[in-house]
Amino acid sequence: MKLLKPVLFSAVAATILSSCGGSSEILSTPVENVDTVPLKVSELTQAEKENWGHLDLIKDTIPGMSVDKAYSEIIKDKKGKKVIVAVIDSGIDIEHEDLDGVVWTNEDEIPGNGKDDDNNGYIDDIHGWNFLGDAYDEQLEYVRILASGDTSNPEYDRAKAEYDEEYQKTLGQKTQYEQIYQQIKNADEAVAKHLNKEDYTPEDVNGINAEGNETLTQAVGMLKYMYGNGFDSTDKALSAVKEGVEYFSDKLNYNINKEFNGRKTGDNPNDLNDVGYGNGNVMPSEKGESHGTHVAGIIAAERNNGLGANGVANNVEIMSLRAVPNGDEYDKDIALAIRYAVDNGAKVINGSFGKYYSPHSDWVRDAIAYASKNDVVFVNAAGNEGIDLDVKAVYPNDQVDNGPEVGDTFITVGALAPKYGANMVAGFSNYGKINVDIFAPGAKVYSTTPENEYDTKGGTSMAAPAVAGVAALIRSYFPKLTAAQVKQVILDSGLALKTQVVVGGDASNVKPIADLSKSTKIANAYNALILASQL
């Protein structure tokens, strides 16, 4: 199929953007109309917090993607085409009340008969495939390099230096969180005893006169500090800190433990031809394995059904590919998962994962090129270390040393926070004029979690599925557009801002948001559908 070359397409898109009028008004032109938007000074309502990524910058002064506006003014009663979106992630709770109606089913496979009915190499792959088998915890890639004992590996010395630093740092962080947990617990007990009630409020604490009582003074100070950090109850604070303790404990016990080996699939992870491992169970291995379910909900949680969250896209079927453990993913699993998605009908792939060592990165790049050649959009999370990806490579990516891209359908997404202005780029988000394509809502995103629950999470892991949802919308309502055109529509139709923003969470590091990505823009579903309609 003949494709418009990117340079030509950009020129065509620019012409359309500058000529649209009437009902096809594009929010991003003229640019001045966006940069004069007043800052949102009031606290977000609960409804806004749970839906901010779908709101509109002009109307709501929140840097969402204008998803609700797109549905009310463009999609309305239009009938779209079903689009399969593959989510390569941890397990997905496909029985969740807000996802059970959008799960992909392999109609060519007979459930539970132990046969590969469709001859695709996977037995009983009804809703996708589980490349991890029964495993969940895993080492980080640089720890696997050390554990191999192969000192001739060109990455060995870098891995050794990083391990020595990271082990001591993690040990200190675990100890610190344990101490904070105990301090909050002690403060809670002291204040509850003083007030003679366990369910006290911040107002109760502020009203305490602790003069002359050093223990009570310290307790009140601790709770006030806790309130100042956004927690309105000790239960919430203790829960959050406990999660931190568990995170650093897991990191020490599994992720950076050179003696730990989590792989249970029986294959050779260094042999790409050793296939057929894993199983058809795409569900999470435990309730805490919630990442994939959260990502799937951002893309496709059933809209307007009266339940917890709305996905960006309707007309979507989610294909679950469990390949991302609690640790670093194996290159082999990712490469095979991408190829599975392409071969089984996915038109969009979401990859909310990444790492900084990749011994078989060529396998993954070959798979990315395969997706591009087969008309599949791959949406990728930029990563959460607040660094410039033009300087430090993250994997997966679609190029080597900032060189030519292996395909033209790979989109890397940075994360926005729910406040327009200097702090609208999430402090954790990676960026890069060459290697990040666009920014989208990624901080404090409300979505589905296992066992019919919902939660707020943040990361570029949440920004990528927002854009994957936009890609699915375009592919649903404008199915004649190629994957390369869908990518270019998303990049060209974003809102172009001149805002100066804090980068990497460092208040002394301020740059124009336009310098942080290739497109210079933030994603906008409303604009994207208008531009797609013009093509």
Count Cβ atoms below 10 Å from residue 214 Cβ, excluding itself. 8
Asked whether the beta carbons of 378 and 371 are under 8 A apart, the reply is yes
Q: How far is the C-alpha of 389 from the C-alpha of 83, rounded, in Å?
A: 31
Of 311, 343, 313, the closest CA to residue 472 belongs to 313
Q: How many beta carbons lie within 10 A of that of residue 469, not counting itself?
A: 30
Residue from 291, 331, 476, 519 carrying the catalytic annotation = 291
Do 335 and 272 contact (CB within 8 A), yes or no? Answer: yes
Closest CA to 205 of 220, 188, 189, 222: 220
Give yes or no: 429 in active site.
no
Query: How many Å separate Cα 375 from the centre of its chain?
Result: 22
What's 73's DSSP letter?
I
SS3 at position 502: strand
User: Residue 442's closest CA among 473, 467, 470?
Assistant: 467
CA distances from 203 to 45, 220, 374 (A): 21, 11, 60
Distances (CA, A) of 98 to 55, 82, 93: 20, 18, 10
DSSP helix/strand/coil, 185: helix
> What are the start-end ranges of the H helices in 301-391?
331-343, 361-373
Q: Catalytic one among 56, 60, 68, 89?
A: 89
Identify the active-site residue in 66, 290, 361, 461.
461
User: What are the DSSP E strand ranges found in 334-452?
Assistant: 348-351, 377-381, 410-416, 438-441, 445-449
The DSSP result for 95-145, as a single string, is: T-TTTTTSB---TTS-TTSSS-TT-SS-TT-SSEEETTTT--B---HHHHH
54 is catalytic: no
Spatial distance between the Cα atoms of 475 and 494, rounded to a whole number of angstroms: 17
Is 100 designated active site? no
Task: State whether residue 188 is helix, strand or coil.
Answer: helix
What H or E segment, with its residue span, contains residue 394? Answer: none
Residue type, 463: A
Q: 3-state class of 425 per DSSP?
A: strand
Which residues form the catalytic set?
Answer: 89, 291, 461
